[in-house]
Amino acid sequence: MGLFSFLKVMMILFNLAIFLGGAALLGVGIWVTVDAKSFLEIFGTLSSSVLQVLNVSYVLIVIGAILLVLGFLGCYGAMRDSKCLLMMFFTVVLIILIAEIAVAVVALVYTGLAESLLTAVVTPLLKQKYGADQALTQIWDVTMKEAHCCGLNNYTDFTGSPWNDKNKTYPEPCCNNQVPCGEEAAIQDAVPGCFSKIVQDIRSNAGVVGGVAAGIAALEIAAMAVSMYLFCKLDEK
């Protein structure tokens, strides 16, 4: 087997795995959207992660859809010797790599900006839906209990929410699980927001996070190199 044939087979297998992984994530995302309660019952202990800051179902659906498209382009493009699909695969991976670098720079260098952007999106969501949307309420309850945090920034993220208007209290984690959790108790306990907890966890595990990020970037660069090699070799066939 020549180098071209070997890389072609590896390209097909690698992107087939990406395609199947994307299908799995898409399925989980749809599952969370339809039945968040059963998802939390199974994976509740794992929910103290950055994905829980946003709506996890939409995150999984978007990532799953991107991986499905990426896997299809790479797998079918290599299988059919399609220069068009291989170039599209290269372009999509390049865009993803640039986006990842941009996000990493914002997260590491401009942490304040990242916090402002998340606050602009998440805080209004909490004020509008916490206590009214069962799925969102459950996700945040589990997240705050597991991560020992309160809201995105602090207890004020829940001021004016359906929960706060109805019960005149704040979620229990905002008062270190004391009941009832009134405003005075929330101010006194000063439980940190989930964003600062996540940043702290990431920084304390910077080596692991950096290693994983470097590994993903290396795989993306290798995939781009292989797709471009196959693209160029097709001209010689």
Per-residue pLDDT of the chain (237 residues; tens, 9 = 90+): 578 888 888 899 989 999 998 898 888 878 777 766 666 555 554 444 444 444 567 777 888 899 999 999 999 998 888 899 999 999 999 999 898 888 777 766 766 676 777 778 888 888 999 999 887 888 888 888 888 899 988 999 999 999 999 988 999 999 988 888 999 999 999 899 988 887 777 777 767 767 877 888 888 899 999 999 998 888 766
Residues 156, 205 contacting (CB under 8 angstroms): no
**Residue 44: CB atoms within 10 Å:** 16
Distance CA 147, CA 77 (A): 44
Distance CA 226, CA 230 (A): 6
**Amino acid (one-letter) located at 95:** I
Tokens of 189: 């306990």
Termini Cα distance of the chain: 16
Nearest to 93 by CA among 117, 116, 77: 77
> What per-residue confidence (pLDDT) applies to 159?
92
The answer to whether the pTM exceeds 0.85 is: no
Tokens of 21: 């992984």
Can you say how many angstroms the Cα of residue 214 is from the centroid of all Cα atoms in its chain? 17
6: Cβ–Cβ under 8 A, 6 or more apart, which residues?
Answer: none
- How far, in Å, are 126, 146, 175, 181 from residue 188 at the CA level? 22, 21, 8, 11
Nearest to 168 by CA among 186, 148, 151, 153: 186
> What per-residue confidence (pLDDT) applies to 137?
87
